[in-house]
Amino acid sequence: MILLSICIIWLLVLGFFLFALVRAFVYRKILDPARIVAGTDLPFATIVVPARNEERNIKRCIDSIVDQTYAREKYKLIVVNDNSEDNTESIIKEAAAKEDNIHLVNADPLPDGWTGKSHACWQAAAYLEGEYFCFMDADTKAEPRLLETAVSYAENNGIDLLSVNPFQEMRSITERIFLPGVFLAIAASMNFKKINDPGSREAVANGQFLLFKAKTYRALNGHEAVRKIIMEDIAFAQMVKQAGYKLMFIFGDDLILTRMYSGLEGIWEGFSKNISNIMNKPDPVAGSWMAVKSIILGVFPILLLIFYFSMYDAGDNYYTIMTALLSAGWFSMVVTGVSVLYAMKIPRRYLLALPAGLLLHAAITVSNIVKQKTGGKKWKGRTYK
């Protein structure tokens, strides 16, 4: 009976998990360039890219922004070198020498009471022009119609802050083993219906692409208002909603992509600083429950299967019930896993690695909870309390 009880617990957790994933899929909005009719007279926009030690990414990012279909005279790019210790500055200078709408800003040393990214973005405040301000991360690559589609969508729908979630590139074996499970757990925590509902307090944004109406950004006092907050994107989303402005979180799989982390160390450092906030579970109890669910989903089905094959002396009825329950659970997991890997463009052979990603998600969540209590979050060579 103990084995049956464990199986029922697993199936209940799995059921709620799958329900959350289906809800996320149904209510997620997609920024599809094929469905957007771009205006013929789009407003001027300024794009800001903060860059710290981004020599591997910054050229690709700049080149993709230069290649936008947006009228060249209607936008400019400001790249902020945030006290980089590699060749980031020289790469930006080389690009700026070739294009007159690329401007390099060297950030001042990081002052007390600021996070690096917010300070770098705020260094560009004096150079911002136009009706829209767009903040992009240096590890992103924009497809040619990104800016045109995003600004048109924001204009047509009266959006004050449009956050576009990039398609996540996963190239290395490490990324393909661990990240699908991590992203799966995060997706199950998202309620996109509430996030995009002006009447709901729930608010999430992805700082890899934030498009503000200029007047909204200035009314909120820009990045100075979030200067102490590591998750400045979610803070902005909350501020926008609280002030009565319109927030939209949307997926841009065909318009922008990113490769966030290439190895396990980067995955750990990157997510352990903010995963509870990403999942909208900053409370330690709620975060701990998310970790427990990932452990149940990652460990229980394997243990149950092992014990199932050792049930030779179990009664026929008991054996039949366990067979039915395990078959239903495993079938649901396999179908979900194959669908997720297909959407992420990852070979199906990585299906067996999904439990590893779920367990890593649990470990990262626990680490994030501990860091919330003790301080000392590290990012880009800096430590924040």
Q: Say if residues 241 and 345 touch (Cβ distance below 8 Å).
A: no
Q: Which residue has the tokens 């989903």?
A: 297
Which residue, chain included where needed, has tokens 């956050």?
Answer: 163
Indicate whether 27 pLDDT > 90.
yes
Each residue of 241-289: pLDDT tens digit? 999 999 999 999 999 999 988 889 889 888 887 788 788 777 788 888 9
pTM of the model: 0.91
The one-character DSSP state at 290 is: H
Give me the residue label for tokens 């997720």. Answer: 340
The identity of residue 75, as a single letter, is: Y
The stretch 15-36 carries a mean pLDDT of 92
How far apart (Å, rounded) are the C-alpha atoms in residues 248 and 162? 5
Q: What is the pLDDT of residues 88-135, one digit of tens each?
A: 999 999 999 999 999 999 999 999 999 999 999 999 988 999 999 999
CATH superfamily of 29-278: Spore Coat Polysaccharide Biosynthesis Protein SpsA; Chain A (3.90.550.10)
* Nearest CA-CA partner of 211 in 280, 128, 139, 276: 128
Distance, CA of 271 to CA of 368 (rounded, Å): 8
CA torsion through residues 231, 233, 239, 241, sign: negative
- Return the residue matching tokens 């003790």: 374
The ranges assigned to domains in the chain are 2-24+282-373, 29-278
Burial class of residue 169, CB neighbours in 10 A (0-12, 13-18, 19+): middle
